[in-house]
Chains A and B, each alone.
Chain A
Amino acid sequence: MDTSQIVYDCINGDERAFRRLVDLHADFAYAVACRMVNDEDEAKDIVQETFISVWRSLGKFDPARCFKSWLYRIIVNKCMDVLRKRKKTTFLHIEMNDQLVAVLERSGNQEDHLNKKELERLIEIATQKLSPKQKAVFVLSELEGLSHDEIVEITKMGKDAIKSNLNHAKRSIGRMIEKYL
């Protein structure tokens, strides 16, 4: 059964179809949220809230449109809300930097596997100076591999704003990596 049929069943109030929809998209939703907020528990909360919002708003959703783009939009908006509310952390855990530097210096990156803490740490160091918008554009463009047009649809930002935010994010991450790793 394809996603559009599942979505159509969900619109008609089928809870079993909705469970299937959650099963299909929970991993992807969690990955996006985790990369954006960089916190496992907060990411889980965001995923939960996202799917509850999806269930409530399915009546407004046009099944002819791409469900994944719509889901992206809800997740990104919720992540940006969390990031805006979050107090800016000013401290850095320098003790793990050596391990991260070692990972970054090693060649054959496909085999590199970081544990959760290391990964969180790496993202935290690299993206600590980014605004919520820059973080959203960075995650969607560089990590999710979405095109600028897709990001426009998800974030409702203009193409120029996306380019500008992405360039700023790249420069900021480059500087942070150079400085701390």
Chain B
Amino acid sequence: MDQERKYRKFIELLKANQPELDNKAELTEGIMKKIGKGDKQPSLLERVDDVLFFWTRSNLWSVGMSTAAVLLIVFFISEQTMLNRRIEDLESKILIIQPVEGGGSQTNFSQQILMKILIKNAETIDSITLYKSDLNRLLRDHMELLDRFEQLKGEGVKERPQKETQRNAERGSKNELLEL
């Protein structure tokens, strides 16, 4: 019982005699000085930067990565130049034809016809790509055919009434035979 009383007394004594900090300002100053000297808490952006790009702090890495970046840029530029040259080369060899609604000029009309010849459902297609030499040849043939057609048409007008009269006469005699 005496032990318990002494224990309680001991606890009360300790509670009543709380240790007091005598030079709080000095302690605070010391803490602030330490956190100011590189112990500063990094911001969120700095922490992200640290996690993602910590390896760039190494000189060897940064030199290596910079060199690789320059090489990649040079490679990209050379590839791009090469691609441009090839595109220009191909562009000189091809011709893009687009169907023109309503026609008008002889060329457009020819193109439309050509399209209909080449493609079954030409109306559903906006454009096709042909080699210029092939197109020229086709257009030339087409124009020749048109000329030929005009020629034949001119000849045919003169002969047509005679032929039709003959054909009607033949048809009439056949009908008579059937009626009989």
Shortest CB–CB separation between residue B173 and chain A, in angstroms? 112
How many residue pairs link A and B with beta carbons under 8 A? The number is 108
Could you name 15 residue pairs across A and B whose Cβ atoms are closer than 8 Å? A22-B27, A30-B19, A44-B27, A47-B21, A52-B35, A59-B47, A103-B13, A109-B13, A110-B16, A122-B13, A126-B10, A143-B14, A174-B4, A177-B3, A181-B6
Report the Cα distance A137→B128, complex, angstroms.
88
- Residues of B bordering A, CB below 8 Å: 2-4, 6-7, 9-21, 24, 27-28, 30-32, 34-36, 39-44, 47
Does A31 lie within 8 Å of B18, measured CB to CB? yes
Cross-chain contact of B24 among A23, A110, A143 (Cβ < 8 A): A23
Q: Chain B residues with Cβ under 8 A from A122's Cβ?
A: 10, 13-14
Report the Cα distance A48→B32, complex, angstroms.
10
Q: Chain B residues with Cβ under 8 A from A48's Cβ?
A: 27, 30-31, 34
> 5 tightest CB-CB pairs across the interface, nearest first?
A34-B19, A30-B21, A174-B3, A109-B12, A51-B31
Q: Mark A20-64, 1 if CB is under 8 A from B, else 0.
A: 001100110011001100001001100110011001101100000
Find the A residue at minimum CB distance from B35.
Answer: A55
Report the Cα distance A163→B85, complex, angstroms.
84
Does B39 lie within 8 Å of A104, measured CB to CB? no
**Does A112 lie at the interface of the complex (its beta carbon under 8 Å from any beta carbon of B)?**
yes
Report the Cα distance A113→B14, complex, angstroms.
10
Does A13 lie within 8 Å of B41, measured CB to CB? yes
Q: Chain B residues with Cβ under 8 A from A26's Cβ?
A: 21, 24, 27-28
Q: Chain B residues with Cβ under 8 A from A44's Cβ?
A: 21, 27
- Residues of A bordering B, CB below 8 Å: 10, 13, 15, 18-19, 22-23, 26-27, 30-31, 34-35, 40, 43-44, 47-48, 51-52, 55-56, 58-59, 103-104, 109-110, 112-114, 116, 119, 122-123, 126, 142-143, 170, 173-175, 177-178, 181
Find the B residue at minimum CB distance from A118.
Answer: B17
Shortest CB–CB separation between residue B16 and chain A, in angstroms? 6
Does A123 lie within 8 Å of B24, measured CB to CB? no
Shortest CB–CB separation between residue B103 and chain A, in angstroms? 73
Report the Cα distance A177→B63, complex, angstroms.
69
Shortest CB–CB separation between residue A27 and chain B, in angstroms? 5
Does B39 lie within 8 Å of A13, measured CB to CB? no
Find the B residue at minimum CB distance from A170.
Answer: B7
Shortest CB–CB separation between residue A95 and chain B, in angstroms? 19
Shortest CB–CB separation between residue B11 and chain A, in angstroms? 5
Cross-chain contact of A114 among B7, B13, B35 (Cβ < 8 A): B13
Report the Cα distance A26→B27, complex, angstroms.
8
Cross-chain contact of A177 among B7, B30, B39, B43 (Cβ < 8 A): B7
Does A56 lie within 8 Å of B39, measured CB to CB? yes
Report the Cα distance A44→B34, complex, angstroms.
14
Given contacts A18-B35, A142-B11, A173-B10, contact A47 B17 (CB under 8 A): no
Q: Chain A residues with Cβ under 8 A from B4's Cβ?
A: 174
Q: Chain B residues with Cβ under 8 A from A178's Cβ?
A: 2-3, 6
